[in-house]
């Protein structure tokens, strides 16, 4: 790849007579003869516009030997005595003949930043939406957390038990013969055994019959291959583009080096492969009917009472092959705020329940959510 080198000449403005755009090769203003001084260095040489994509200066390069010689002379320095700017390769001030001293200020040669890389599409609005959503989520979660904490904070009140209630139920179950179906290879023939006082029973598997082949499920089997194509993208060289680097020589000239760089583009192509195809194949197995036993509800009775009535169980007469399932519920109705309806509070055992009576004054610890946490006699 060939490099193209150009020397670009800057311009400066005279601070004494307001002459603008003086070529850098002139160290003195052609109008008023005032030398370019250190104070002018702060306003810098002007080099005009640069193409943003390539980094190439829009100015013509200079080719005359006098200008090229000045560009090669090194960074300018400023006379410590009279302030005039001097060529880097001149040891004496051309205005006052003073020698270049250690403390003389000078410009510096430096590499300038290259052309800007293409910037990917901005995601500004999208990320804004994401931030709003995240913020909303945060507020929502934080808010519900605070609310959750507040709901579980407790307070103590003086209250009263205004009622007690209990409810009991007994379900009578009988170990009864049934017909079921199952897969032959999962069934083990076994005689049934009846329960004694509701325990020790074995359901059993007996009298296998009516066995038929039946679909039990399916499995995947290979069924040849087929060609599958997917569209993919890859990078491909697609011509060249010019890129330029620029070096400021510190003396009103710049050296620009341009070269052609290979450019890469996305190219889509078909990526095809032979892939195994699968199909579902049904699985069959033998399914049979058989005799067995299971618990069935045959009766259910409930009892209930309130306000000092003693809890009692319903009266059922089970057979030896029966069992009884018992449920019990105990509740207290408590008030602690005038004018509000009583709150029901459930207790686990009969023993707990019997410790409380209707009309009894109590201390009650309640959460802000209205849940009774603790109950004490008062
Ligand atoms: Zn001037
Ligand atoms: Zn001087």
What is the separation, in whole angstroms, between the first and last Cα of the chain?
99
Can you give the pLDDT at residue 59?
A: 94
Q: Tell me, in angstroms, the distance from the centre of ligand 1 to residue 29's CA.
A: 4
306-346 per-position pLDDT tens digit: 988 899 999 888 888 889 999 999 999 999 888 888 888 99
* Tens digits of residue pLDDT in 205-262: 999 999 999 999 999 999 999 999 999 999 999 999 999 999 999 999 999 999 999 9
Phi then psi for residue 108, to 5 deg, are -130, 145
Question: Distance from the CA of 26 to the center of ligand 1, in angstroms?
Answer: 11
The four Cα atoms 93, 96, 98, 103 give a dihedral, to 10 degrees, of: -70
Ligand 2 center from residue 38 Cα (angstroms): 11
Cα-to-centroid distance, 282 and ligand 2 (Å):
103
CA of 80 to the centre of ligand 2 (A): 7
Which residues is 104 bridged to in the sheet?
none
DSSP-derived secondary structure for 7-48: EEE-EE--TTT----EETT-SB-TTT-PBPBHHHHTT--B--
Pair type for strands 253-306 and 206-248: antiparallel
Find the 71 Cα to ligand 1 centroid distance in Å.
Answer: 23
Which of the ligands is closest to the CA of residue 37?
2
The answer to whether residues 307 and 182 touch, using CB atoms and an 8 Å cutoff, is: no
Nearest bound ligand to CA 93? 2
- The answer to whether 226 touches 274, Cβ cutoff 8 Å, is yes
- What is the structure's pLDDT at 319? 84
CA of 153 relative to ligand 2 center, distance in Å: 85
pLDDT attached to residue 141:
84
State the distance from the centre of ligand 2 to the C-alpha of 15, rounded, in angstroms: 18
Mark the ranges of the chain whose per-residue pLDDT is less than 50: none
CA R_g for the chain: 49
């Amino acid at each position: 790849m060939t490099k193209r080198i150009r020397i670009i000449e800057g311009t400066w403005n005279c601070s004494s007579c307001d002459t603008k755009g003086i070529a850098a090769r002139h160290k003195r203003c052609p109008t008023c003869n005032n030398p370019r001084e250190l104070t002018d260095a702060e306003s810098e040489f002007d080099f005009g516009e640069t193409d943003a994509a390539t980094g190439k200066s829009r100015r013509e390069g200079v080719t005359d030997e006098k200008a090229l010689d000045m560009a090669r002379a090194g960074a300018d320095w400023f006379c410590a005595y009279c302030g005039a700017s001097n060529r880097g390769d001149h040891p004496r001030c051309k205005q006052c003949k003073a020698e270049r001293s250690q403390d003389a200020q000078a410009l510096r040669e430096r590499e300038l930043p290259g052309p800007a890389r293409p910037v990917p599409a901005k995601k500004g609005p999208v990320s804004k939406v994401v931030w709003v959503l995240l913020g909303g989520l945060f507020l929502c979660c934080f808010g519900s957390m605070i609310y959750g904490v507040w709901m579980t904070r407790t307070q103590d009140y003086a209250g009263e038990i205004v009622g007690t209630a209990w409810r009991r139920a007994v379900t009578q179950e009988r170990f009864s013969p049934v017909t079921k179906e199952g897969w032959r290879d999962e069934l083990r023939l076994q005689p049934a055994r009846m329960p004694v006082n509701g325990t020790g029973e074995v359901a059993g598997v007996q009298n296998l019959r009516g066995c038929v082949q039946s679909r039990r499920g399916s499995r995947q089997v290979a069924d040849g291959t087929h060609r599958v194509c997917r569209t993919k993208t890859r990078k491909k060289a697609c011509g060249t583009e010019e890129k330029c680097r620029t070096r400021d020589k510190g003396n009103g000239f710049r050296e620009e080096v341009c070269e052609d760089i290979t450019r890469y583009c996305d190219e889509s192509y078909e990526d095809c492969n032979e892939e195994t195809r699968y199909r579902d194949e049904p699985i069959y197995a033998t399914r049979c009917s058989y005799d067995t036993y299971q618990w069935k509800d045959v009766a259910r009775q409930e009892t209930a009472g309130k306000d000092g009535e003693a809890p009692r169980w319903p009266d059922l007469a089970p057979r030896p092959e029966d069992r009884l399932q018992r449920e019990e519920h105990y509740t207290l109705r408590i008030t602690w705020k005038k004018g509000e309806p009583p709150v029901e509070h459930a207790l686990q055992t009969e023993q707990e329940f019997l410790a409380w009576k209707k009309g009894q004054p109590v201390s009650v610890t309640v959460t802000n959510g209205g849940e009774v946490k603790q109950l004490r006699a008062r």
